[in-house]
Structure 1
Amino acid sequence: MTNVVIIGGGPGGYEAALVAAQLGGSVTLIERRGLGGSAVLTDVVPSKTLIATAEVMSTMRGAYELGVRLGERSDLAHAFHVDLAAVNDRVLRLAAAQSVDIDQRLRAEGVRLIDGTGRLDGTEHVVAVTGEGEERLGADIILVATGTTPRELPQARPDGERILNWTQLYNLRELPQRLIVVGSGVTGAEFASAYNALGADVVLVSSRHQVLPGEDDEAARVVQHVFERSGMTIVSKSRAEAAEVVGDEVVVKLADGRSVTGSHVLMAVGSVPNTQGIGLAEAGVALNDRGYVTVDRVSRTTARGVYAAGDCTGVFALASVAAMQGRIAMWHSLGDAVGPLDLRTVCANVFTAPEIATVGVTQAEVDCGVVNALAVMLPLHTNARAKMRGISDGFVKVFCLPTTGIVIGGVVVAPIASELIESLSMAVRAKLTVDQLAQSFTVYPSLSGSIAEAARRLHTHSAGQGSQVF
């Protein structure tokens, strides 16, 4: 029997454990904070649960336009308020319940769980475990899935009360009077969007000219416009250097000499991999210049029999990618059929309001000539279902190859973009053409109808009768 030792119980670790057990391995998983890792306990599950409440508040703010009234009150949104203590209690309760479910599933599959910390002990395929006691585990296969930790600025260390990282937000019992969010990447933008919808006065400090600099530029422009229209203050091209608690306030100092004052500040300035002090270099595992584990497309590291998965690899900070990396590692190491990780088929979502979902090639790649593609973008305000629901912001964009018309990417900006992107994701994965996508039935009226419409508009251009990009 093959001995598999997994360090880290996040999506990369626990999904790998399930596959390894299914394939007959003797599996041990080491986790020190609880099954599910950051994705379940402090990141994806908690943040999206919070965002679910924010979405309800956003819906109520738009209810008046749809003709909804409450008694003598003209504005439904003002009839309600957010009890942040109740919201965060629910967030943490759901996260804990999800962790318990994963724990029970792993035990049911015969996986041995150890509450502790694992460290590679030299090049002899031994993992030293420190927990309630100490143990040395011999392993045929080792998977490192240790995740990341929120990055900290030297002069803005989180104190858990006024200066917070995203793992500490759920300790708040009252809505911040004025929340300063430092960082306009995915994490910063999502929390800024959520707290703005919950009713907090939000200031978003961005070092770039526009929020979400890593996303489709047109999509990010829509989100920024919605943020500003909703009353959020965006301080662009400004880099935060320090944060200091002064009485009941926090003062954030900017590099240009200005300062921003609020009741709380969320530091969303990226993350660092948990790869130090666990014996990786000594075991022959190479790290890149940022400290991430170097892996190939089947999750192998530079050390024989040692694999890595998840955020600690720096490949793509998504729970779905971490889980796939973990599965691929076990399929490959245990001799099952496996294909290498294909990032061109990964679909991702930013849970702002509206959401941004993407798959495949990007507009930036097309614009700089890396990819030769045609594109059509349809604004959602022309969609019948969008009109019925009062949706005025957003669009659908589809990319295809010239001549063949094969779909190679797409962008959806909409309230439920995370659900709408699936058809484009399937098209990219299966290498469908725009004609095949266009000829599939969609419900009328529906937001997904705009995807089929975009594909129809690409028909003549992808057939070689033109190369116009809309």
Structure 2
Amino acid sequence: MPSYDYDLLIIGSGPAGEGAALHAAKLDQRVCMIEEQHFVGGNCTHKGTIPSKALRQAVRRIIQFNTLPMFRDVDAPQIFGYPKVLKQAERVIRKQVKLRTEMLARNGVKVVTGVASFVDANTVDVAGESGIEEKISAKNVLIATGSRPYHPAHMDFNHPRVFCSDSILHLNNTPKTLIVYGAGVIGCEYASIFAGLGVHVDLINTRSSLLEFLDDEISDALGYHLRDMGVNVRHNEEEERLEVDDDGVTLFLASGKRLRGDAILFCNGRTGNTSDLNLEAIGLKANHRGQISVDESYRTEVENIYGAGDVIGWPALASAAYDQGRSAAAAMLGGEQVRFVNDVPTGIYTLPEISSIGKTESELTAARIPYEVGRAFFKNIARAQITGDEVGMLKLLFHVDTLEILGVHSFGAESSEIIHIGQAVMNQPAGNNSIEYFVNSTFNYPTMAEAYRVAALEGLERVGRLND
């Protein structure tokens, strides 16, 4: 039996790596984590989820201050620059790094700083900044290296006016005009953040509608409110070329349009961080997006090597990555807690935010499933009236005959929180996953969660089942 330095070697310290490390450590496994940055947390903590959501929260507070009448009695509306708002994100990042560092240390996880590359299936070479190389061996290896923004070769991302979702966190001024190319989740989030700061934003969408995986009604609502914030949304457009000078950028579109802005934020796709791993040494090959393939136990084609998080592709969410890491660790240890993560709520932190789980109306229609809709508009919910967050709604889709909940879609304040109530009920056994749960349960009042009762009552009234 070969002797290894560790039972589990994890490459990457983001949510997937952390989930695996803590699960394995609690089962008395010797765990080592390799992170190329000086601080743990991965891109989620330093470049993605945490900073962008902290930015969004700060902008949300600014909007509330500048629009609520109570604050107008105290002071005039205020203008906050992007660098000042960015400091709020830095404060949260420091707290997250401290928390995660202490948690890994408390559980005996060894953290090594450097760039990892495979020597063979059980050995990894780690190159540190000082040039010193260290070889580490392990029985099992988890690739959890995450992803980075896609950089088209013809775009000069070193230019001070050309940004991706990583480098935008180092922007040291507030542009008057910004072009956001790519209207995926990241593009829509940053478009709403900058619009909330008073920046004129052109949002370029290469598709016919925003976030096509959403329910059509929710996608339409997002488009309306982005435009209401001053965002100019342009659908079905493709970039032809970009010209950059000392005064700004000019984006030439295939449709013949020319857009001028102070800067451009390119958010059109992400690439798995596999280029430095020397995958050839272990017989693995990444796809054109830099992603590796895994089975339902998160095992790659190499028996002792696993993958989790953004580097394996969909759903590329921090919430899913943590669970994927735990499941990968359980699988390699022969545990029973292996779960292929495919029941993931969508959380989109635009202004207002969006969250959903289950089927959309279009999917149910295509599948010829008889369904009905129950809605609760936040403007009629007491808690929303109290907080001033009256934009949005909760939408329940349910089977006409069985009343089974088929989909939950929310647009507006606290959507990413209240979605989990619907998720919990949907996951109950047949007979207990009915929309009737919400009318037979008492909700705290006033709460945003009360929207479930209101939506359920409306839905049951539509199908004539209130008196059953």
> Shared fold by TM > 0.5?
yes
In 2: Cα distance, 1:392 partner to 1:93 partner: 29
The Cα shift of 1:160 comes to: 5.4
Residue 297 of structure 2: aligned partner: 298
* Cα deviations by residue, 1:215-255 (Å, 9 ceiling, x for unpaired): 22211211111111222222222222332222221111111
* Cα deviations by residue, 1:356-381 (Å, 9 ceiling, x for unpaired): 11112233321321866443233333
In 2: Cα distance, 1:127 partner to 1:166 partner: 30
In 2: Cα distance, 1:460 partner to 1:97 partner: 48
- Greater CA deviation, 415-424 or 305-314? 415-424
The Cα shift of 1:112 comes to: 0.9
Q: For 2:127, which of 113, 127, 130 is the aligned residue?
A: 130
Residue 405 of structure 2: aligned partner: 407
**Contact 1:298–1:332 (CA under 8 A) maintained in structure 2:** yes
The Cα shift of 1:275 comes to: 2.0
- Greater CA deviation, 241-250 or 172-181? 241-250
- Alpha carbons of structure 1 residues 276 and 464: separation in structure 2 relative to 1, 3 Å: farther
Residue 25 of structure 2: aligned partner: 21
Q: For 1:377, which of 372, 375, 378 is the aligned residue?
A: 375
In structure 1, give the amino acid aligned to 2:357.
V
Residue 274 of structure 2: aligned partner: 275
The size of the alignment, in residue pairs, is 456
Q: For 1:45, which of 33, 46, 50 is the aligned residue?
A: 50
In 1: Cα distance, 2:209 partner to 2:24 partner: 44
In 1: Cα distance, 2:382 partner to 2:213 partner: 31
In structure 1, give the amino acid aligned to 2:19.
E
**Contact 2:7–2:138 (CA under 8 A) maintained in structure 1:** yes
- Alpha carbons of structure 1 residues 57 and 258: separation in structure 2 relative to 1, 3 Å: same
Residue 455 of structure 1: aligned partner: 456
In structure 2, give the amino acid aligned to 1:8.
G
Residue 13 of structure 2: aligned partner: 9
**Contact 1:185–1:214 (CA under 8 A) maintained in structure 2:** no
The Cα shift of 1:44 comes to: 0.7
**Contact 1:222–1:393 (CA under 8 A) maintained in structure 2:** no
1:235-250 correspondence runs (5 A): 235-250=234-249
In structure 2, give the amino acid aligned to 1:381.
K
Residue 166 of structure 2: aligned partner: 167
**Contact 2:397–2:406 (CA under 8 A) maintained in structure 1:** yes
In 1: Cα distance, 2:401 partner to 2:284 partner: 45
Q: Secondary structure at the match of 2:114?
A: strand
* Cα deviations by residue, 1:85-119 (Å, 9 ceiling, x for unpaired): 23223322431331232122212211111101222
1:147-166 correspondence runs (5 A): 147-159=146-158, 161-166=160-165
Q: Does 1:352 align with 2:357?
A: no
1:68-79 correspondence runs (5 A): 68-70=71-73, 78-79=76-77
Residue 105 of structure 1: aligned partner: 103
- Alpha carbons of structure 1 residues 153 and 404: separation in structure 2 relative to 1, 3 Å: same
- Alpha carbons of structure 1 residues 370 and 328: separation in structure 2 relative to 1, 3 Å: farther
Coordinate RMSD, CA, aligned: 2.4
* TM-score after normalising by structure 2: 0.90
- Alpha carbons of structure 1 residues 220 and 464: separation in structure 2 relative to 1, 3 Å: same
**Contact 1:285–1:302 (CA under 8 A) maintained in structure 2:** yes
* Cα deviations by residue, 1:329-388 (Å, 9 ceiling, x for unpaired): 1112113221422423x1221111111111122333213218664432333333344344
* Cα deviations by residue, 1:408-462 (Å, 9 ceiling, x for unpaired): 3211111221122121121123343211233221133333222122223444778
Q: Secondary structure at the match of 2:374?
A: strand
Q: Secondary structure at the match of 1:85?
A: helix
Residue 365 of structure 2: aligned partner: 367
Q: Secondary structure at the match of 1:251?
A: strand
In 2: Cα distance, 1:38 partner to 1:13 partner: 12
In structure 1, give the amino acid aligned to 2:173.
E
In 1: Cα distance, 2:362 partner to 2:279 partner: 36
In 1: Cα distance, 2:333 partner to 2:453 partner: 41
* Cα deviations by residue, 1:285-334 (Å, 9 ceiling, x for unpaired): 35445432111222111210111100000021110101100000111211
- Alpha carbons of structure 1 residues 434 and 325: separation in structure 2 relative to 1, 3 Å: same
**Contact 1:119–1:279 (CA under 8 A) maintained in structure 2:** yes
Q: Secondary structure at the match of 2:120?
A: coil
Residue 468 of structure 1: aligned partner: none
The Cα shift of 1:138 comes to: 2.0
In 1: Cα distance, 2:371 partner to 2:284 partner: 39
In structure 2, give the amino acid aligned to 1:241.
E
The Cα shift of 1:81 comes to: 1.6
**Contact 1:41–1:96 (CA under 8 A) maintained in structure 2:** no
Residue 444 of structure 1: aligned partner: 445
In structure 2, give the amino acid aligned to 1:137.
I
In structure 1, give the amino acid aligned to 2:15.
P
The Cα shift of 1:62 comes to: 2.8
Q: Secondary structure at the match of 2:391?
A: coil
- Greater CA deviation, 408-417 or 278-287? 278-287
In structure 1, give the amino acid aligned to 2:113.
D
- Greater CA deviation, 262-271 or 114-123? 114-123
Q: Secondary structure at the match of 2:279?
A: coil
1:193-342 correspondence runs (5 A): 193-285=192-284, 287-288=286-287, 290-342=289-341
In 1: Cα distance, 2:79 partner to 2:200 partner: 14
In 2: Cα distance, 1:381 partner to 1:343 partner: 33
- Greater CA deviation, 366-375 or 160-169? 366-375
- Alpha carbons of structure 1 residues 222 and 460: separation in structure 2 relative to 1, 3 Å: closer
**Contact 1:153–1:241 (CA under 8 A) maintained in structure 2:** no
